[in-house]
Homo-oligomer: A and B are copies of this chain.
Amino acid sequence: MASLPHPQGFLVGAAEAGLKKGGPDLCLIVSETPAATAGATTRNRFFSPPVAVTRARLDAGRLRAIVANSKNANAATGKRGLADAEAMAACAAAAVGADPREVAVCSTGVIGQFLPMDRIRAAIARAAAGLSPDGWPRAAQAIMTTDTRAKDAGRRVRIAKADLALRGVAKGVGMIHPNMATTLCFVGTDAAITRPQLKRIVRLAAERTFNAVTVDGDTSTSDTLIVMANGAAGGSKIPANSADETKFASALTDLLQELAIDLVRDGEGATKVIEVAVAGARSEAEAREAARKVASSNLVKTAIYGCDANWGRIAMALGNARAVFAQERVAIKILGVPVMRRGLPVAYDEPALQREMKARDYISIAVDLGAGRAKATAWGCDLTEGYIRINADYRS
């Protein structure tokens, strides 16, 4: 992690509130000055109180800080949960000298339990006391729930003679089928950019990354993505719709994609990442939905686990997508090997392909719908006995 960049003007801290058995479970991400902010939250109708609070903050578009905890989602907790979320934001605001309306609050973990507010308050104070520019890895650790690895990524990009840094942390390996955003993901950057630009860039980047991954088809009640840009690198404002804006958007999309694929790779019980690239669709939205349909089919997921090049199930899953196409124009490749062409089976060396699938932990499926020029990619993971064991046990 030593080589990941620290965006200037950001301080990060974490502490133990005792929600988790050992290790940090609460974090603070603070911008020294108000940052232009954009983000997205779950579309689940059972959205949690912290999501309700954070939505209002994102609407305002300026943040000084994010406070987040794991192991308790403060979801299905009603008015008391809402008051607790507001109190958590106010406590963090006081600790870092900000207005409570400039603090977003996120909770992830078990649904239906009240937060132990005394311990939360004490942990916020300790996290604030330990704020530092290189606290990001501890924040990544603090938001882990059933994750087995911390997700922490960074990008450097030079724009208009300024060296900009982006840094992001994410969590979530179950209840992952984001709709607008996923799980928790916090990004800080010292780029100078306006809020409307950031909003536009984040919306598209989220569609192409977090909204294109799936672990189990279930959209969480707590999904939140927040991107804060504080301009502390000292560069001039990135002009709207410029080549520089495109460069910044690429770096951000790239960062989010790394974190999103990290989630899938750590998907509950997963042994393989499944990449589904759909081309030849009428629109990018249809391509993405079709790709996601394949990546989230239990039958495709179990076939990949079994190292079975079962293109019949891929065709079945495509047939259930909303995308419009004619089956006689569809082509499918697995690991680059054509298995269907014009909607019909293609002869291929099945034992060789099976060996190849066994040897790899990243299986690419390429589909051409033959209906247009748009394309999109989605990522999922295989479905294994491990997923069953984790979820027949774990109380989420």
Contact = CB atoms under 8 A, between A and B. Distances in A.
Nearest to A323: B45
Contacts of A122: none
Contact of A46 (B75, B175, B319): B319
Interface stretch (A61-69, A213-221, A240-248): A213-221
A18 interface: no
B391 A303 contact: yes
Interface in A273-300: 297-299
A392 interface: yes
A395 B76 contact: no
Contacts of A75: 312, 315
Contacts of A315: 46, 75-76, 111-112, 221
Interface in A160-192: 174-175, 179
Contact of A305 (B221, B312, B320, B388): B388
B316 A111 contact: yes
A32 to B, nearest CB: 37
A316 B221 contact: yes
Contacts of A387: 298, 302
Contact of A47 (B299, B305, B311, B319): B319
Interface stretch (A6-14, A89-97, A123-131, A336-344): A336-344
Nearest to A321: B45
A318 B219 CA distance: 10
A271 B291 CA distance: 31
Contacts of A44: 316, 319-320
Contact of A297 (B45, B218, B388): B218
Nearest to A219: B320
A393 interface: yes
Contact of A316 (B46, B77, B383): B46
Given A221-B316, A299-B175, A320-B218, A78 B342 contact: yes
A327 interface: yes
B221 A319 contact: yes
Contacts of A344: 76-78, 112
A176 to B, nearest CB: 10
A302 B269 CA distance: 13
A133 interface: no
Interface string A88-122: 00000000000000000000001111000000000
A370 interface: no
A298 B218 contact: yes
A364 interface: no
A309 to B, nearest CB: 10
Nearest to A320: B219
A111 B219 CA distance: 31
A306 interface: yes
Contact of A313 (B313, B321, B385, B396): B396
Residue in A45, A78, A175, A317 with the greatest tally of chain B CB atoms within 10 Å: A45
Interface of A: 43-47, 75-78, 110-113, 174-175, 179, 216-221, 297-299, 302-303, 305-306, 308, 310-313, 315-321, 324-325, 327-328, 340, 342-345, 383-385, 387-389, 391-393, 395-396
Per CB-CB distance, the 4 closest pairs between chain A and chain B, nearest first, are A111-B312, A306-B392, A46-B319, A302-B391
Given A46-B316, A175-B299, A385-B389, 20 more contacts: A43-B320, A44-B316, A45-B321, A47-B319, A75-B312, A75-B315, A76-B315, A110-B312, A111-B313, A112-B340, A113-B345, A216-B298, A218-B297, A218-B316, A218-B317, A221-B315, A298-B298, A303-B392, A310-B396, A388-B388
